[in-house]
Chains A and B, each alone.
Chain A
Amino acid sequence: MKKLLLGNEAIARGAYEAGVKVSAAYPGTPSTEISETIAKYPEVYAEWSPNEKVAAEVAIGASISGVRSMCCMKHVGLNVAADPLFTCAYTGVGGGLVAVVADDPGLYSSQNEQDTRMIARAAMIPVLEPSDSAEAKAFVKRAFELSEKYDTPIILRSTTRLSHSQGAVELEDRVEVPDKPYEKRIDKYVMMPGMAKKRHLYVEDRLNRMAADMATDPLNRIEYADKKIGFIASGIAYQYVKEAMPEASVLKLGVLNPLPKALIEEFAKNVETLYVFEELEPVVEEQVRAMGIKVIGKEIFTRQGEYSANLLRKAVLGVEDYEAPTAGLPARPPVLCPGCPHRSVFSVMKRLKLHVIGDIGCYTLGAVAPISVIETTICMGSSISTLHGVEKAKGKDYIKNWVCVIGDSTFLHTGVNSLINSAYNRSSGTVVILDNRTTGMTGHQEHAATGKNLKGEPAPAIDLETLCRAIGVTRVRTVSAFDRDALTAALKEETQADELSVIICRAPCALLKGNVFPNKVFVDAAKCAKCGACITCGCPALSKNADKTAKIDPEMCNGCGLCASFCKFGAMEKREVLKK
């Protein structure tokens, strides 16, 4: 049966059909749907782990015990999981182990544009890269076989475009793979210097063997056509080549590490002009050059963003045949939703003129005008330690008007260890946990403090307040994110205190299922002074009528009342309405 599947759904399906038994991940666009899909198969144990490092270790443990296992992450998640995975490259596997890593060329929802293939090379982990949903499913299955054959973890690399595109996929049955018997192998699984030295030799030999074998493996293939021009391409970029120049010859790589040297040499010999067409970094190009082969790559193709067939046509053929876009249109950046608790918190921080160190989540949108309060965003869990660094550099008094903000899910991801550091090293900073009871940006995933797990089953819920106290923070309090007076008082007090403090701002995400909004805000045009103060709260439900009076879209308004609290003229009223 053929079914339309997202690349991510196809990856999950492939793992299911390959007999995977354990899957662990932390949500991260564009990889999230892999876990959400695989969780629906009762034969697979699937979990949200607090972060990617933990997820990778769970998968490694399952693999060592002899079952096929998987961990999934976005590209920056690989940085978090790098520690276990780099060494797992040495130990190798028991049951097949696949780490799915989804890159984000074009930065649709990420803080950088790093290329997983470069990290995989550093880790000496083989990489497979499919070019559509059908291949995604097939490649995952091959990845498990190769993992066991070569005794190595395998990275299956996706990109946003592949993960979030749908294509027809032929569904097949799951094949139950017998567990491998667990072996006590101290030489293989205990990576202390003596053993690791020997395993490093094994890793080198393994990559050499694989490179030789992959020259004749169907994962890599040459499609000869007109031999004047030849492209080396993989993943979604391969589709762009086929679209733009179907007459050209192509070496389609399915294995991106190690590269099949013999096959590349053969292809290069048979085409007149050779191009490497790869998104992001010149990973293949540089290796091909190192083989002494003349090739055209990044001198005409950009390292930035996503590729397209038009980009290829323009760079290679000099053709650009379409209307010019309309210039000067207003941008439409993403914004915090109407009724978002973060907006309320930010409005208080703005009024108090606080410097706000941000973290990764929806609340990063607090950097967008007109809110513009977030001043730094680095990576998951970084806010608490960044504030600590500012304090240690500049002294306690310097941060009396500074706070950091971190979401509940991000706090549990890697914020906890930063808070431990701040407590242990006597920080006096103010940490604000924006507790919206979910992992918001990625689409409402459960986490260790929500009371449910990935399978939707009841789970123990960590009490954040107790956790902070256990770490040694004595000044911990919880306020409603919408109680601006209480929050104002708390922020004033805690930023002035000479001790580390945590303020938990709690209110569920406005989009969270089951969240009911009994109120809406209405404008009394007669009282409206047309001052525009309400607009500065940055809610997309607000705008102005032609006569400059405030207007609220009743469909969008969730009745949080933040705008009304900005109005000095009593022109906005929060009223209870029947929810449709």
Chain B
Amino acid sequence: MSSENLNDLIGSGVGDSAGGKYRNVIISGVMGVKGDVECTDFKCSGVSKVDGSIKADSILVSGVNNVNGDIKCKELTVEGSLNVAHGVSAEKVQIYGVFKVNDDLNSEIFISRGGFTINGLLNAENIDIRLFVKCKVREIGGQSINVCRDNTNSIKFFEKILETFSMPQRLIVDTVEGDDIYIEYTNAKIVRGKNVKIGPGSNIDIVEYKDKFEKDDNANVKEFKKI
């Protein structure tokens, strides 16, 4: 996108703005954007609500952002909280905060170090999820899928607290399909893949594998078969 003749949208106070094409959108105050936004950089460190879709090269949300449409971008980083009413398509998604998508999420790379809820399909080439809080997604599909619980000491301290607030460090998912799969602390109905490895703390109803299947002693797999 050519950035010539385009202005920045800077929201550092409180107010509403129209959508449209911008060069950079930087929101550090409280801002409502009425309409679709197209820009190069979208940064929100304040509170914003976009009443439409966002199309950008890179999106960084370190504040609180609600999007009432789709997101289309190359890079999406969520450090704060982002809520998307429809789908997301990106090349790289990184989550360090809280992320909610009401539809499908398509990306080449998906990295999560936070929490997310995806009410559709999470479709990515490489999926790397570290569980800190409860993560929920309807379906996962991709090439390599890696889900593990973070083992750094700092979080161990919070583990009990999180569990009492019914937010265990778990992934809840219906189906997982991929080529190379490693999952732990996951509740899934069906896991299908070429090489499947189920780590500790998992509750899986059915595993269907093609080449290799490994199971941790502390994992609970009701049924597995080679196809």
Q: Do A and B bind each other?
A: no
What is A's interface to B at a CB cutoff of 8 Å? none
